[in-house]
């Protein structure tokens, strides 16, 4: 995107291209499988048959190179932070971060020496999903919220 990003005034042509880009991005958000603890089970349940995520275009990818969003699902210990950063840095732009569950949001019930009190101390979080664990409907609602956030972005038009 580099050369044309944020360069042009908002006119009819550019806003249409932006909305096409946003449509493409929201319709195929591919998360990186990053289940750490119990929230991973709920994430798997959301991805499975009953609360299908595939109908939103959300397919879980095991490699960060092909992922758009990273859903931090579970308790983040201090020992886990270097791998998370390594994997996050390997994701290409544009990327978004969803902090799922109480532990990823604020450390959850674990205010201890080994747990990071919220992954937003290390990563720029776009959507926080409350719950312990959040029900599949909550996770789906948060991903739809992320879609709304992406739709409001201007990539080509100046902000």
Partner 1 sequence: MSRSIAPKLVEKIKLEFDDVILDISRFQEQTTVCLKAEHTRQVCEFLKNEKDLDFNLLLDLAGAHYPDRERDFEVIYNYYSLTHKHFLRLKAQIKGDPPRVATISDLWKAADWLEREAYDMYGIIFEGHPNLKRLFLDDSWIGFPLRKDYPLEGRD
Binding mask 109-128 for partner 1 (x = CB under 8 A): --xxxx--------------
Q: How far is the CB of 123 from partner 1 (least distance, A)?
A: 19
Q: How far is the CB of 90 from partner 1 (least distance, A)?
A: 22
Contact 119, 88 (CB under 8 A): no
Closer to partner 1 by Cβ: residue 91 or 119: 119
How far, in Å, CA of 35 to CA of 33, rounded? 6
Q: How far is the CB of 114 from partner 1 (least distance, A)?
A: 7
Contact 8, 157 (CB under 8 A): yes
Binding mask 93-112 for partner 1 (x = CB under 8 A): ------------------xx
Q: How far is the CB of 46 from partner 1 (least distance, A)?
A: 31
How many residues contact partner 1, by CB under 8 A? 6
Could you say which of 79, 89, 93, 152 contacts partner 1 (CB under 8 A)? 79
Q: What tokens does 22 get?
A: 């946003």
SS (H, E, C) 74-141: CCCEHHHHHHHHHHHHHCCCCCEEEEEHHHHHHCCCCCCCCECCCHHHCCCCCEEECCCCCCHHHHHH
Closer to partner 1 by Cβ: residue 80 or 125: 80
Q: Segment 2-61, which members bind partner 1 (CB under 8 A)?
A: none
Q: What tokens does 30 get?
A: 């591919």
Distance of CA 106 to the CA centre of its chain: 16
Phi, then psi, of 42 in degrees rounded to 5: -65, -35
Contact 31, 60 (CB under 8 A): yes
Q: How far is the CB of 86 from partner 1 (least distance, A)?
A: 15
Could you say which of 65, 78, 151, 158 contacts partner 1 (CB under 8 A)? 78
Binding residues for partner 1, per CB under 8 A? 78-79, 111-114
């Amino acid at each position: 995107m580099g050369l044309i990003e944020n360069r042009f005034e908002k006119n009819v042509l550019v806003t249409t291209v932006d909305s096409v880009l946003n449509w493409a991005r929201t319709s195929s958000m591919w998360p990186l499988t990053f289940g750490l603890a119990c929230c991973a089970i709920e994430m798997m349940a959301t991805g499975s048959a009953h609360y299908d995520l595939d109908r939103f275009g959300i397919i879980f990818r095991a490699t960060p190179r092909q992922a758009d969003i990273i859903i931090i699902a579970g308790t983040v210990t201090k020992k886990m932070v270097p791998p998370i950063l390594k994997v996050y840095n390997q994701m290409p732009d544009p990327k978004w971060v969803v902090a799922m569950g109480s532990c990823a949001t604020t450390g959850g019930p674990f205010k201890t020496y080994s747990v990071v009190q919220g992954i937003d101390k290390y990563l720029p979080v776009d959507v926080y999903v409350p719950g312990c664990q959040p029900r599949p409907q909550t996770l789906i609602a948060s991903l739809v919220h992320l879609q709304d956030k992406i739709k409001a972005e201007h990539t080509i038009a100046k902000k």
